[in-house]
């Protein structure tokens, strides 16, 4: 309804209309990291989240009256602290589960993004100066026929 009231056209009609020509071509990049290194970074990030107050954040949200049944609390990084607070799992298990589920999620994300042929994958082991040169080159190639 909002689309119709703003444009005077249904969303179906808008989708069928000719697309507006843009004067740029987006360039997308993904960072490729060895799985072992990625998992190491994920594990460290989880510990950092814990050290910076994840449990306090979850407790504060629950104390504010938010229900444990909220969909947001069923996500990785919230469900496990709630289980710990409810004495369903140990502190160590909480950390281990957040790390494992975060690694699983990262794997699913990589599978999803690897299917997108528009993404230019860059290796994180590449020298930063070289990475910048590659990014500039690909951007220039992609936008060489554009008017900026």
pTM: 0.74
CATH number at residue 51: 1.10.287.890
Assign residue 53 a region (left: φ > 0; alpha: ψ between -120 and 50; beta: otherwise): left
The least confident of 18-22, 89-93, 132-136 is: 18-22
Please report whether residue 133 resides in a domain: yes
Q: Note down the domain range covering 139.
A: 21-143
In the predicted structure, residue 146 carries a pLDDT above the cut 60:
no
Per-residue model confidence (pLDDT) at position 148: 44
Q: What is the pLDDT of residues 11-28, one digit of tens each?
A: 888 888 877 777 777 889
Please report whether residue 108 resides in a domain: yes
Q: What average pLDDT score do residues 114-137 get? A: 93
For the chain, give the secondary structure using H, E and C: CHHHHHHCCCHHHHHHCCCCCCCCCCCEEEEECCHHHHHHHHHHHHHHHHHCCHHHHHHHHHHCCCCCCCHHHHCCCCHHHHHHHCCCCCHHHHHHHHHHHHHHHHHHHHHHHHCCCCEEEEECCCCHHHHHHHHHHHHHHHHCCCCC
In degrees and rounded to multiples of 5, residue 28 shows phi and psi of -110, 140
The structural domain count of the chain equals 1
The single residue listed with the structure tokens 């990625």 is: 38
Mean pLDDT across the chain:
91
Q: What is the pLDDT of residues 40-89, one digit of tens each?
A: 999 999 999 999 999 999 999 999 999 999 999 999 999 999 999 999 99
């Amino acid at each position: 309804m909002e689309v119709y009231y703003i444009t005077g056209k249904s969303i179906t009609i808008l989708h069928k209309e000719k697309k507006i020509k843009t004067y740029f071509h987006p360039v997308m990049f993904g960072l490729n990291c060895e799985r072992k290194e990625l998992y190491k970074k994920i594990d460290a990030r989880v510990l950092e989240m814990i050290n910076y107050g994840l449990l306090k954040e979850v407790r504060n949200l629950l104390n504010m009256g938010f229900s444990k049944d909220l969909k947001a609390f069923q996500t990785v990084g919230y469900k496990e602290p709630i289980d710990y607070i409810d004495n369903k799992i140990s502190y160590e298990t909480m950390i281990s589960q957040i790390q494992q589920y975060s690694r699983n999620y990262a794997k699913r994300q990589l599978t999803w993004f690897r299917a997108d042929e528009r993404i230019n994958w860059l290796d994180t082991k590449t020298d930063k100066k070289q990475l910048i040169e590659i990014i500039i080159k690909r951007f220039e190639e992609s936008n060489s026929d554009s008017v900026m």
